[in-house]
Structure formats: structure tokens, C-alpha cells
Chain A
Amino acid sequence: MPKRKMEKSKALTQLLYGQFFQQLPFNVAIIDRDYNIIEANDNFTRYFGDWHNRKCFSVYKKQDKPCSVCTQKEIFEDGRTRVVDTVVADKDSRWAHHVIQSAPLRLTPGGPVDYILEITSVVTDTNQWQQEYNVLFDRVPCYITVIDEEYRIVRANESFRERFGDVLGQYCYKVYKRRDKQCPRCPAARTFKDSKIHQSEQSGIGKDGKKIDYAVMTSPLVRGEERVAHVIEISTDVTQIKKLEKEVLEAERLAAVGQTVAGLAHSIKNILMGLEGGKYMISLGLKKDDRSMIDRGSDMLDRNFDKTTTLVKDFLSFSKGRLPQLKMTDPNALVEEIVDLYKDIAGVSNIELKARLKPKISPAPLDPDAIHTCLTNLVSNAIDACLMGQQKGSEVVISTRDEKGKLVFEVSDNGSGMDYEIKKKIFTTFFTTKGGGGTGLGLLTTRKLVQEHGGKIVVESQKGKGSRFRMEFPRKRLEMLYRESE
């Protein structure tokens, strides 16, 4: 080709490229290895302002140092193109959601990457489909945010913005909790790490300054890349539910008090009956001049006055410390303590006391003294049941386990068991089948202590086969009580 023609063609090419570069309907920039913007089109300048002698992170993110996770750096290393969703700020620091397509540029074919071409487009042009999607995204009754690896909020739906404010580009921990650094137990951090879905319950502060309890789920937002660049956080407001849960818990605890009072009333009626009887005997004895009858009456009075004293004492200890003193406790250690304590007593009667413990059960906030009392009551009942059953090979087993979010203690025996009538009444004050051997307060106390922990006690029993007492403590409730007590 003649030299002139070649030069003309080269000029044309340059002109074409130059105009093409300028007129592309995107913001286009070229970046070198030191993050410097060395060329950009007019669109770019109009949007981001003057970029000369500035670095990409300063222009895009208004930062004074490179992003902790840098797409450019990766492209310089592996030479592959990338498409990234992110928030960037325009020249007036208005943050907006963008898609950045980055491609490597090589001066020598097959050589190292010398520059990166970046095409940035605001994702605001929406068609009908996208509008519908947006309405859905915005109005869905949960708070949705997408965060990048720096925990900046890249997108937030309207529900979120209404509750937490307009927060695009801000750090999520700042927005959710007004913290200056990442939250403890952050589920998003775990998702970034393992690409899996995680959830947790958290408390944050809304833009109105009010506390919000929310259940958050985090899920990786991956578009073909291997690593997780974004995480979507979906939160449900559980403030009301939390409040209701608390009310239910409170109601149950009050019910325990009510039952106690009803039991107290019955005990007093029986004592009054005894006093009435004593009074009657004495007056009858006086009328008939019968010394022995006066003595019997006076004994009866004495006995029932004593009962009053015992009753008052028991109920004072019973009503003491309505709030359990919670501290992190190893359930298995508690059980082992009881086994040590009762092994010999059981052994004397040829009853084997065993522990069946779930290894590595997580500790829980419990009142160790209270649970100790509960287990003591249940185990001594179980031993009595074995003695009443008089079977050979009697055994009492204490076990621990986690079941559907509940911490479970179970005491089972193969002793006498109970029929329906007895089972119905075991939680009644002063109900005892042990004749003079029981006060009838053991199970009542146990139930009260369990209820104060937000738990419940369940009984299964078959006459002649044995009984199984299960104390169930929902771990969530324990944690709630624990947080309250702190």
C-alpha cells in the first residue's frame, strides 16, 4: 500500500476510535497499574468531574486509599474481564448503583495487561419488567439490602429506607446499629466466607431512634464469579413478635404464681379444718369433763399450728427469688454433679443411677442452683418410684440433649409409674403419695423453677412401667431472659 494511503487510513482509524470513544453512551475510562485514570471520555468527565491526576478509588468511591477488594488488581493478575455491581458517587457525591464492565488492554498481543478499560453505566434505565421488579423489591414487607465486601450498602429497598433512612453507600453496621465497626455475630461475614446462607437475630436502631428487633438472613449474590462479591441481607421486623413472646413468658410466670396461690388456699382450708376439729374436741371434752378428749383436741391444734408454721416457711422459700440468677452453665456438668451426689444413695437400694449425656452440648444461661434443685427433686422422686415398684434391675437415667432449639433434661425410671389420676395431681401443693415421707412441694417447686426459666416440664408415665420427667428450655427464651438480666 502507498505510504500516503496508509497514513490516511491510520488517521481515519484514529478519528473513528477517538469519536467512538467520546460518543459511547457510557462513562469510559482507562486505568493504569497504579490506579491512575489516564484517559476518559466526555461522558465520564460530565458524570464524575475532573479526573486528571486522580486515582480510580478517589473518583469512584471518594476514598483516599484503594478498595480492600480491588477488581482491577485481579484483572491485572489474571487478564480476565469482569462485570461488577457497585455503588459509586458522582462529582457531587451522589451515590448511585452502577454496573462496571472492566476489560484488560495489552500493548503487545499475548503480553502482560498494561491498562484496564472500564465502562461504567448507571443502572437507572428501566423497562417495564424492571419497574415491576423494583416495586416488588421495594414493597416486599421485609428490609432488603445488598452489601459489598466492604460492607457498604449497594442497594436498599424502600421498606428498608423508610425504616433506616436513605443510606446508599454507607456501611451497613453504621446504618443498622450505628456502630463504627463490624457487628459481632455478623451473618454477612460468614456468607462472604463460605458462600452459604446464614441467619441471626439482631437488634438495631431505626432512623426514628427506636429499637428494632429483626431476624436477618444473608445469602450470597453471585453472578458467575467464584468468590462472593455481594451479599443480600433480608431482615424481618420481629419487634412485635418479640414483645408478644415476652408477654407470653410473663403470663406463664404469673400463671405459676396463680397456681401457687390456689395451692396455698387449699392447704389453708385443710389446716383450718384441723383447727376446727381441735377446737371442737376441746369444747366437747370440757363439756363432758373428758380429759383425754381435751388432750386429743389440743394435740390436733398443735399439729395444725405446726403445719401453718411449715407452710409459711415453705412458701417463703418458694416465693423467694422469682427471677432466676442466670449464668452460662454446662448442662452436663450439672447432671454429673447430681449423679455423684445420688449414686451411693441409689446404690444402697440396688438402683443404678446413670447419666446419658449428649457430648459437647453447648452451655446455656441457667440458674445452676435452681436446676440443681429441680434435678435433685426429680431424681429423688425417681428413686422413690423404683423403691415402690420393687422391681429387679431398677435404674434411673438422667440425660441431656438439644431438641428443636430446646435444651432438654430428662429423668426417667423404671419404677412404679403413675396412673392418670395421680399424674393429674402431681403438681398440686401438698399432694403426696408418700404418706408422711413427702411434703408435696417437690414437683411444684420444680415446675415453678422451670417456668421461671421460660421452660416447661412434661411427664410421661405408665403404671407399673415407670415415669419420664422432661424439662424443656427453649434456648431462645433463655437467651432473652439472659439479655434482660444483664
Chain B
Amino acid sequence: MTDPAEKNILVVDDEEDVRDFLKLALIEAGFTVRTASDGLEALEEVKKRVPDLISLDLVMPKKSGAKFHRELTRNKAWAKIPIIIVTGHARDDLGRADLRELTMSGPGIYLEKPIKPDRYVAAVKQVLGLETSAEEKDLADQVELQSELKNLIDDADPDTLRQLKDMLKKKK
């Protein structure tokens, strides 16, 4: 079994509070964490040492998440780094196109701000293939399912959406 301490994670976000929060949550879970405040800094960090996972914000000054990712994929070794997108722009015009590009081409999943720490950690572990507690596993599965579902819902036609709604209502 791999120890989380051996996993090096790069958290990229332009908001200092968000950076601190995510970093702390990951450290608490035992990971080794580095941070960067924009795409440019993130690229420097990747050059220094290739991380095992990147937690990436989309809309940032200097170099955006999408632009940073595009540059990552140009390097064969970097292209395989798993990515978790943590963004508040998933549903607005500013982030939608970038998000689509990333989820289509990248290996990662996305989480929409605001996000609970345990859910975040569970998602990270899941992507890294680390052993998780049953509880964490459930959470991570839920996160992944939700993420997948959100993508499906975004692309769904009105009829499917109506059926889905009815189905979910019946369950309740």
C-alpha cells in the first residue's frame, strides 16, 4: 500500500484562502503539498518536480488553468499527471469552454466550489488510486458520480432532464 506522504500534490489557485484551505486538508490527510498562485508559477513548480496530482483552478490571472494544462500536455511526461479541477466557473461562460476542453482531454474530474474538505480529500485519493476507508470510498464514489452526472446533465436535452427529474422525485 502506498503511503499518502509519498504523494506530491500541487495546489494551484489564485485565492490565498482557498490555497491554504486545500493545502491544510491535504496535509491533514498525510500528503506532501506544494502551492502555486497562477499557471505560470505552477509551471515552474512542475519543472522543479513533477507532482503526482495537480489540483487546478480554471480562471486565474497571468496563465489560466486551461492554458497551463495545454502546456502540460505538450510534454509527454507531464501529460499523464492526473488533474482535479476545482472551480467556481463551471457553469458560467467564462469557465464552461475551458472545463469542457479539460474534462474531454484530461484524465481528471472536476469539483465545483464551494467544496467540503473530506470530499476533496476523498476525490484526490480516488484519482490517485489510494486505499480509502469505506466511508471515504463512498464519498469519493459520490463525488465522481456527481461529477459525471453534472457533465451528462449539462449536455442533456430537455426531455431527458424532465424524465430525470421525475425519477429523482419518485425516489424521494
Knowing A300-B17, A432-B61, the reply to whether A273 touches B114 (Cβ < 8 A) is yes
Which residues of B are found within 8 Å of A422, using beta-carbon distances?
Answer: 61
Other-chain residue from B28, B62, B88, B93 in contact with A270 (beta carbon distance below 8 A): B88
**A266 part of interface (Cβ distance < 8 Å):** yes
A425 near B113: Cβ-Cβ < 8 Å: no
Report which residue of B63, B94, B117 has the largest number of chain A beta carbons within 10 angstroms of its beta carbon: B94
Shortest C-beta distance, A411 to chain B (Å), equals: 21
Q: In the assembly, what is the distance between CA of A433 and CA of B115, in Å?
A: 25
For chain B, residues 14 to 30, give those with C-beta under 8 angstroms from any C-beta of chain A: 15, 17-18, 20-22, 24-25, 28
Is A169 close to B, CB under 8 A? no
Is the CB–CB distance between A280 and B94 below 8 Å? no
Question: A interface, how many residues as a size bin?
Answer: 20 to 34
Q: Which residues of B contact A265 (CB under 8 A)?
A: 88, 92
Q: Is the CB of B113 within 8 A of A262?
A: no
A280 and B25 contacting across the interface, CB-CB below 8 Å: yes
* Closest-CB distance, B95 to chain A (whole angstroms): 9
Q: Which A residues lie within 8 Å of B89 (CB)?
A: 266
Kindly supply a per-residue 1/0 record for chain B positions 57-69, scoring 1 wherever the CB is within 8 Å of any chain A CB and 0 otherwise.
0010111100100
Q: With a CB–CB cut-off of 8 A, which chain B residues contact A428? A: 59, 94
| CA–CA, A424 and B92, complex, Å | 13
Bound: A471/B21 CA distance, A: 41
Q: In the complex where A273-B18, A280-B24 touch, is A421 in contact with B88 (Cβ < 8 A)?
A: no
Give A303 to B21 CA distance when docked, in angstroms. Answer: 13
CB distance from B147 to the nearest CB of A (A): 16
A302-323 Cβ-contact flags toward B at 8 Å (1 or 0): 0110000000000000000000
Query: With an 8 A cutoff between CB atoms, is B48 at the interface?
Result: no
CB < 8 Å neighbour of A272 from B25, B64, B67, B114: B114
Q: Which A residues touch B116, using CB under 8 A?
A: 276
Residue from B17, B64, B117 within 8 A of A274 (CB atoms): B17
Across the interface, which residues of A come within 8 angstroms of B21, CB to CB? 273-274, 276-278, 280-281, 300
Q: Which residue numbers of B lie inside 8 Å of A, CB to CB? A: 15, 17-18, 20-22, 24-25, 28, 59, 61-64, 67, 88-89, 92-94, 112-117
Cβ-closest 7 pairs across A and B: A277-B21, A269-B88, A272-B114, A274-B17, A273-B114, A433-B61, A269-B113
- Selected A-B contacts with CB under 8 Å, 5 pairs: A265-B92, A269-B114, A277-B17, A281-B24, A422-B61
